[in-house]
Amino acid sequence: MVVVPRSIAWCACILWLYWVPLAAQTPRIDSLRLKIESKHQYDTTRFILLVQLLWELRIIDPVQAIMYGREALSIAHAQTRLFSSARWQYRLAELHRFLGVAYRNIGEYEKASKSVYTALELDQQRGDSIEIGHSLNTLARILLLQNNIAKAADYAHQALAIAERFHDDKLQAFALFTLADVYYQRKEFSAALATAQRVVALRRKRGEEIYVADTYLAIARNLTYLKRFDEAYAYIQQALDIYRAQRIPYNQAVGYNAMARFLIVSKRASEAVYYAHTALTIADSLQAKALQQEALELLAAAHEEQGNYQVALRMYRRSDSLADMLLSERIAKQQAILDIEYETKLREQKIQTFEQERRTNISIAIGISIVVLIIIAAITVRMQQREKRQEHERAELLQRAEELIDVNHALRLAQIELHDNQERMARLLRELQARNDELSEMNQEKTMILGMVSHDLKNPISSIQIAAEMIATESTSLQESQQLAQMILETTTKMLSLVKNFLDVARAEQGRLNIRYNEFDITSVIEATLQQYAPHAERKQITIHYSKPDFTATVYADESLTAQVFDNLLSNALKYTPPGKHVFIDIHTSQVLHHNIALLNRDLDTLDTSDFIDCIRVSVTDEGPGLTDDDKTKLFTKFARLSAQPTGGESSTGLGLAIAKRLVESMNGRIWCESEYGFGARFTFELPRYAA
């Protein structure tokens, strides 16, 4: 079992459970930073650049983004008259909404909600419906992170209604994405998948391929939960293809980490190593510490699953070192945010003081003509008193700010320690539950095996014992002894077959199959098996229809294992076909796509012969009772007991089809069944004609 480390679980929670579209660290960020250095401290152009940087960094570096946002707020406060106009009110609402997103991404949900509600009030004052919708959707995502699913769903539906009323595809895509997460939280996976597909259609219509890739990862999250691993793998692969085509390294690293996490969950740790290592290489080149830490912990988990404990330990140590570095940087930046907030408050106080002084000076100027000397003296005394009072108040404010910083720092450290303890406890509980489930499943399987062995071996052993006792008596004739010996031989053959089935299952599950690949004509295997079962078919009056094909049916596989697969399918067909009926054997050629190729609609026109594998397809069709819907869910599983009963008193362990499936898939083939209840069943398997 794979034990997913603490930080991987945290990343999965942020990136899968409450997905937000990821922005990439592009040259645009560096360009914005260069431009902002040449602008005046209170320049409106600097304000616009700061808001743009806030948006670009809201995911990559939310703490730095908040620092830019707070500086933009100080510009707005310094130019109150300018920002009271409708145009700049729109800019101010946008700033508060973006700040809310950044606060949300560092877990400051109270500040996040306050910022977005401020944006919503500004949007409502202007009557801007589309921006109201964006604010409602942002609030919905914050509420979703606080597990207030009902209210989050209400706000998301309101945002979607606005988007549909005004035919705004952008807002509609954001709102639908939030609703998909709501459905996921409610475990309404069909609704979540359908909603996410609507998001894909809208994003593709708008030409927003990055958002399409992000949505593919969200779809893969739902499919992984449903254990539809093949489909989930295909969607993650499509997302990776888009990231590569867009040539944005940060998103590529995110995609590779997502694929590594999926492969660990689906028990494919050896493949996960490649993707996690690729993500780490990209993250190293970008100096993206959060991505580096995630990739290292994924590598550690993958190596631990494979038993490479020394390598896993090294990865964990590197990850812990990065985590400490990230924590230190985050605390330093949060301290800087507090400093900016404090300086902003002081600046606002100075502005208010200046306004008060300006009004007072106007009053004094009006009265100068009356009592010049008295007013001058009064002004001098008053200014001195005010300066002393302001200095005293400033000292008190500075002292309180320092105390608040110390208290806040202590609280944050306590919160981090509590969160770590909770994560560790949750991880241990999940691991214990998984171990309990595994032991319960193994115990149930052991009980089934013991019951089957005791049931299916008891009667044959009793028959052998009785026959041996009869042979031992002197009164038994030679003919009777021969008949009894024949009966013993048939009984021990059945017992040996039962034991062999158990051993085959054990070898297949432990990966100890000794496969000897070579090219051979599969018709020779089929004809030899038909000859073996001809007497049995004749006894049950069953007609076997088989015509040797007019082409050479060469396959590249293990001849012995192929014979065992066909033996299982033919014996099943004879076992469940009533006397007087028919069994049909067909051999055809076929072409199938290479394994692990995921197709989009646009790919269908570009396929050529190199994308396909030539195969030989063998089908065994019986005229038995067929399979019910319940039977189909149990096919190819161990100890499966189907509704159909053998028509000639034959025994069944429920292992034959499970063994056949393991053998075919181990030889790079596939096997399936087609059946309609009451009209027999067709079992088909395919094997490649040539070595890959």
pLDDT tens figures, 499-541: 665 555 556 555 566 789 999 999 999 999 999 899 989 999 9
Give the pLDDT of residue 47: 87
Q: Which domains does the chain have, with CATH numbers?
A: 518-597+609-688 (3.30.565.10)
Mean of the pLDDT values across residues 666-679?
92
Whether residue 23 is predicted with pLDDT greater than 60 in this model: the reply is no
Which helix (H) or strand (E) segment holds residue 220: the answer is helix 209-225
| Packing angle of the helix pair 478-510, 372-472 (nearest 10 deg) | 170
Give the pLDDT of residue 14: 37
- Average pLDDT of the residues of the chain: 80
DSSP structure string for 164-216: HHTT-HHHHHHHHHHHHHHHHHTT-HHHHHHHHHHHHHHHHHTT-HHHHHHHH
pTM: 0.47
Q: Which has more confidence, 342 or 438?
A: 438
Structure confidence at residue 455 as a pLDDT band (50, 70, 90) = very low
Q: What percent of the chain has pLDDT over 90?
A: 35
Give the list of residues 6+ apart from residue 234 with CB closer than 8 angstroms, or none. 598
- By the 8 A CB rule, do 265 and 12 touch? no
Structure confidence at residue 353 as a pLDDT band (50, 70, 90) = low
Tell me the C-alpha distance between 133 and 184, whole Å: 22
pLDDT tens figures, 64-123: 889 888 888 888 887 777 777 777 888 888 889 999 998 988 888 899 999 999 999 988
pLDDT tens figures, 464-477: 766 676 776 656 67
Whether residue 652 is predicted with pLDDT greater than 70 in this model: the reply is no
pLDDT tens figures, 598-644: 555 555 566 666 678 899 999 999 999 999 988 888 888 776 666 66
- By the 8 A CB rule, do 243 and 252 touch? yes
Mean of the pLDDT values across residues 646-675?
81
pLDDT tens figures, 202-238: 999 999 998 999 999 999 989 998 899 999 999 999 9
Whether residue 497 is predicted with pLDDT greater than 60 in this model: the reply is no
Whether residue 597 is predicted with pLDDT greater than 70 in this model: the reply is no
Tell me the C-alpha distance between 191 and 203, whole Å: 19
Whether residue 5 is predicted with pLDDT greater than 50 in this model: the reply is no
Whether residue 492 is predicted with pLDDT greater than 60 in this model: the reply is yes
Whether residue 579 is predicted with pLDDT greater than 80 in this model: the reply is yes
* 3-state secondary structure labels for all residues of 239-302: HHHHHHHHCCHHHHHHHHHHHHHHHHHCCCHHHHHHHHHHHHHHHHHHCCHHHHHHHHHHHHHH
Mean of the pLDDT values across residues 122-133?
90
The label of the residue with tokens 């089934």 reads 448
Whether residue 290 is predicted with pLDDT greater than 90 in this model: the reply is no
Whether residue 161 is predicted with pLDDT greater than 70 in this model: the reply is yes
- By the 8 A CB rule, do 639 and 448 touch? yes
Q: Which has more confidence, 496 or 602?
A: 496
Tell me the C-alpha distance between 287 and 283, whole Å: 6
Whether residue 549 is predicted with pLDDT greater than 70 in this model: the reply is yes
Mean of the pLDDT values across residues 343-354?
56
Give the pLDDT of residue 239: 92
